Amino acid sequence: MTDNALVLFSGGQDSTTCLAWALERFAHVETIGFDYGQRHRIELDVRPAVLAGLRGMAGWRGKLGDDHMIDLAVLGQISQTALTQNVAIAMQDNGLPNTFVPGRNLIFMNFAAAIAYRRGIKNIVTGVCETDFSGYPDCRDDTMKAVQLALNLGMESRFVIHTPLMWIDKAQTWKLAQSLGGDTLVDLIREESHTCYNGDRTHRHDWGFGCGACPACELRAQGYEGFKAKGG
């Protein structure tokens, strides 16, 4: 089947926007999430509310299918990062923030492809982005193209990896969400999704919940301000 998709859905702003993007384009969409011992595991707790909200939106009813949750605790066990351990977020000597989890997206894509293979799904959608502040090497366009080639060779398949956010910034991501689902989707992202690295759901901001100080919150807040400044 070519009119279906599997979306890597964490419960955050980017993956929610990508899920809406897929729902607008494909007749049947499934989701996959990963529990790797992330310190902001609350993102997994908000996933059902986001999925319920999307299922209720006009035009997408009946399109959203099964959700697959994968236990990848071993990734957290072998990683020494600010996303898998309770350490301060900081820059490393190699120029990358210690929020970078080596191999994470590569592993995610392999497991997603295995599920897609089993389910007969051709299209895989992920929210990786080169314009993100972090510069994570496993979010780059070249990496995703290489992964697509490797998966197709290794599984004798014709997967297509879609990266709707690859070349846009956070303000444009907010705008994309609005263009897909109007203010209803923007409000769903603000109220139900989670992006804060510290897992804070106690502080409410115009752009949503979060500590307001971690890099993820700062990026989301700046993007929302830019979005609103342009009439969003």
Kindly report the CATH number assigned to the domain that includes residue 91: 3.40.50.620
> Over the stretch 120-145, which tens digit does the pLDDT of each residue have?
999 999 999 988 656 788 889 999 99
> Over the stretch 62-74, which tens digit does the pLDDT of each residue have?
999 999 999 988 8
Q: What is the pLDDT of residue 150?
A: 98
Question: Which residues are bridge partners to 91 per DSSP?
Answer: 97
Q: Which structural domain, as residue segments, surrounds residue 82?
A: 4-229
Q: What is the pLDDT of residue 6?
A: 98
Which tokens sit at 137?
A: 């090497």
More confident residue, 74 or 6: 6
Number of domains in the chain: 1
More confident residue, 93 or 150: 150
pTM listed for this prediction: 0.92
> Over the stretch 162-196, which tens digit does the pLDDT of each residue have?
999 999 999 999 999 999 999 999 999 999 999 99
Mean pLDDT, rounded, for 44-57: 96
